[in-house]
Structure 1
């Protein structure tokens, strides 16, 4: 029998939530016949995360203890194994972990309204999901500074140690129905 990869003894349970606020109706778009938000929730469950209702008071999350996983409903196909790797890194190093993907679009500088030189993409990343907060960070916050993951990551970086982990391709963030169709094609077995 193979060992359970999630059989890690933690001091406190890992709680998490799927963030769908401020994302319009896109989280309820179907991928592989299921809503994006449902797929994201399943990934949390498969990673051993106890679901927390977004409506819970922050003090409850603090009192429960343990790390908190924030999973973006617009990154529905992020593998549970990657979510768990982010949790493990948070627990091992007591740091905020922010998942990222490399920027693949061409990025240009703009000055005085004119398009200028192309920016080197090496080292440019887009924030995806999850963001994992260690217990001490959860306790230090009075709530989430933002539901926008890029804004949240920047706010956390100002106050706490943050590391990034590169998410796999299926962990990309969708921003339109066309993106959903592309992700569905990418993740069809």
Structure 2
């Protein structure tokens, strides 16, 4: 049977006390531990956001933390919009109580729900996609699991009672996926009959069959102090490249003098611009912003803002350098091209190159500047304007 559940939401459980880790973490709850500058629960949210079928998340936190975490989540979603709806609820005394509270916050049209422990920050989008696909093909409940590789023995009173057949054993992971109505029914019955379980599948198994998909060994749960080693990161440096483009019209006698790369270009040529109109630095800044997903200069220095009227682009570039530094990027090379029919820029090339080197803190061999024409074609060929392109290579620490 093939069907497509109308709306899928996730429940991120972050309400645990983490008693087994308390001493090793100086009392900090494990869901708030940071990995690569973000708490574990946010890494889980990021992974859910990479699966198109997931429309929203319910975050479950300890009751006393809810006001603080709501403010914190608003800030996270403001700075990194995951494209998901979200809400927050208070957890309960047991894991199953927290899940039950989370279920009450789901929208009425939620056909399928995935319940995930925030202490599993390394879950892959593939697992979530496969869980949803299994629901779509008829499963009412489905869980990820990996084979047990060690020999498992049942022990009673300090002696071996039985050696279990490990070919029939698996280690279960989260997220676990269910039809929403089924999981709600299971929790209602568990509450009424006093069931005490360790995962949601244990409830649903009493009502219907639960399917299994392959999990991943990497999808570990941070549980005991030794697991904290998985949160230790070695700084990795990766290359990043940005590309920028800018254009300005030539003006009349009342417009701004031509400046390129922070260097005034003597002559009668002027530029129509809100700031100083340095087309070369504008392209360069856009390329720099591109290395770390920083948008463009129009977002940071809009031409509708009087504060930037006549602004020195060299000053704006220093602002972009600060943004790059905060993002962990340092620049190692730039290649710059001016396209214009006039004026002739060969006499200014060395000075422009030296000034860009100074602005970026780079050596001469790390900055390449050139100028060309378009053989009298287009608006530059008609001497109506000037344009610039820039590519920037950076190194980013992750």
Please tell me the TM-score bracket, short chain as reference.
0.7 to 0.9
Q: Which moved more, 1:32-41 or 1:52-61?
A: 52-61
2:222 equivalent among 174, 181, 189: 174
Distance 1:60-1:36 versus aligned 2 partners, 3 A rule = closer
Task: Name the residue aligned to 2:30.
Answer: 26
> Aligned in 2, Cα 1:98/1:149: closer, same or farther, shift over 3 Å?
farther
Q: Counterpart in 2 of 1:3?
A: none
Structure 2 gap segments, 5+ residues each? 19-28, 61-88, 90-100, 237-397
Aligned length: 178
The answer to whether 1:119 aligns with 2:164 is yes
Determine the C-alpha separation between the residues in 2 that align with 1:85 and 1:95. 14
- Cα deviation digits, residues 23-66 of structure 1 (max 9, x gap): 52112222233221111111111123211243267455262331
RMSD of the alignment, in Å?
Answer: 3.1
CA contact (8 A) 1:69 1:133 kept: yes
What's 1:108 paired with? 153
Aligned partner of 1:155 in structure 2 is 203
TM score, norm. by length of structure 2: 0.39
Asked whether the equivalents of residues 120 and 222 of structure 2 are also in contact (C-alpha less than 8 Å), the reply is: yes
Deviation at 1:163, TM superposition (A): 0.5
Name the residue aligned to 1:73.
118
Aligned partners of 1:151, 1:35: CA distance in 2, in Å?
Answer: 23
SS of the residue 2:206 aligns to: helix
Residue 9 (structure 2) aligns with: 15
Shift of 1:153: 1.5
> What is the match of residue 294 of structure 2?
none
- Aligned to 1:100, what secondary structure does the other structure show? strand
Task: Please say if residues 26 and 177 of structure 1, whose CA atoms lie closer than 8 Å, have aligned partners that are also in contact.
Answer: no
Residue in 2 that maps onto 1:38 = 42
Q: Deviations over 1:66-113 (max 9, x none)?
A: 101111112111111211111111122142011122223442222343
CA–CA distance in 2 between the matches of 1:11 and 1:108?
A: 41
Quickly say closer, same or farther: Cα 1:143–1:76, change in 2 above 3 A.
farther
* Deviation larger for 165-174 or 71-80: 165-174
Distance 1:11 1:155 in 2: 21
Q: Whole-Å Cα distance in 2 between the matches of residues 23 and 144 of structure 1?
A: 26
TM-score, normalisation: structure 1: 0.76
CA radius of gyration, larger in: 2
Native 8 Å contact 2:58 2:105 kept in 1:
no
Q: Which runs of 5+ in 1 are unaligned?
A: 1-8
Secondary structure at the counterpart of residue 98 of structure 1 = strand
Partners of 1:96 and 1:131 within 8 A in 2: yes
Cα deviations by residue, 1:109-154 (Å, 9 ceiling, x for unpaired): 22343235543322212221111111441453556959x9843221
Task: Give the distance between the partners of 1:143 and 1:36, measured in 2 at CA.
Answer: 29
Q: Is the 8 A contact 2:154 2:163 kept in 1?
A: yes
